[in-house]
Chain A
Amino acid sequence: MNTNSQKIRLGLFVIIGTLFFVLGIYLIGQKQNMFKKTFMISAEFQNVNGLQKGNNVRYSGINIGTVKAIEMLNDSIVKVEMNIEENIVKHIRKNAVATIGSDGLVGNMIINILPRDGIAGVIENGDMIKSFSKVEPDDLLSNLSVTIKNTEILTEDLLRITNSINNGKGSLATILNDTVMSSNLNQTIKNIKQVSENASNTLIELNGLVKSIKTDDASILGLLLNDTISGNKLKITLGNLESSSVKMENSVEKLNTIIENVNSSDGAFNYIIKDTSLVNSLKSTLRNVNEGSDKFNQNMEALKHNFLTRGYFRKLEKEERKAKDN
Chain B
Amino acid sequence: MSGLSNIKSHIQTFLKEIGELSYFTARFFKESFRKPFEFKEFLRQCYSMGNRSLVLVGITGFIIGLVLTLQTRPTLMEFGAVSWMPSMVGISIIREIGPMITALVCAGRIGSGIGAELGSMRVTEQIDAMEVSGTNPFKYLVVTRVLATTFMIPLLVIIGDAIGLYGSYLVEHLKGDVSFQLYFNQVFESLEFGDIIPATIKSFFFGLAIGLVGCFKGYYCGKGTAGVGRAANSAVVFTSLLLFIIDFIAVFAADIFYDL
Contacts and interface: CB of A to CB of B under 8 A. Distances in A.
User: Do A and B associate with each other?
Assistant: yes
Interface of A: 1-2, 6-7, 9-10, 13-14, 16-18, 20-21, 24-25, 27-32, 54
B158 A17 contact: yes
* Most-contacted residue by chain A among B94, B161, B191 (CB, 10 A): B191
Given A1-B44, A30-B188, A31-B191, 10 more contacts: A2-B40, A9-B51, A10-B43, A13-B50, A17-B156, A21-B154, A24-B191, A25-B193, A28-B192, A28-B195
B244 interface: no
Contacts of A29: 193
A32 B192 contact: yes
B192 to A, nearest CB: 6
A27 B189 CA distance: 8
Contact of A16 (B46, B159, B189, B196): B159
Place the interface of chain B in its size category. Answer: 20 to 34
Interface string B182-212: 0010001101110110001000000000000
Nearest 7 A/B pairs, CB to CB: A17-B155, A27-B188, A10-B47, A20-B158, A6-B47, A21-B158, A20-B162
A7 B45 CA distance: 11
19 contacts: A1-B44, A2-B40, A2-B44, A6-B44, A6-B47, A10-B46, A10-B47, A10-B51, A13-B50, A13-B54, A20-B158, A24-B94, A24-B158, A27-B191, A28-B188, A28-B192, A29-B193, A32-B192, A54-B192
A6 B200 CA distance: 26
A28 B161 CA distance: 15
Contacts of A20: 158-159, 161-162
Contacts of B192: 28, 32, 54
A9 B44 CA distance: 11
Interface in B35-88: 40, 43-44, 46-47, 50-51, 54
Contacts of A14: 46, 50, 155
B155 A28 contact: no
A12 to B, nearest CB: 8
B159 A28 contact: no
A18 B40 CA distance: 21
A16 B184 CA distance: 18
Interface in B2-59: 40, 43-44, 46-47, 50-51, 54
Contacts of A25: 193, 196
Contacts of B47: 6-7, 9-10
A67 B43 CA distance: 45
Contacts of A54: 192
B51 A21 contact: no
Nearest to A52: B259
Interface in B95-119: none
B159 A31 contact: no
A54 B44 CA distance: 43
A18 B50 CA distance: 13
Given A18-B155, A31-B188, A10 B50 contact: yes
Nearest to B53: A13
A85 B195 CA distance: 24
Nearest to A5: B47
A21 B200 contact: yes
A7 B50 CA distance: 12
Contacts of B94: 24
Nearest to A9: B51
A17 B195 CA distance: 17
Contacts of B43: 2, 6-7, 10
A37 B214 CA distance: 48
B175 to A, nearest CB: 22
A24 B90 CA distance: 11
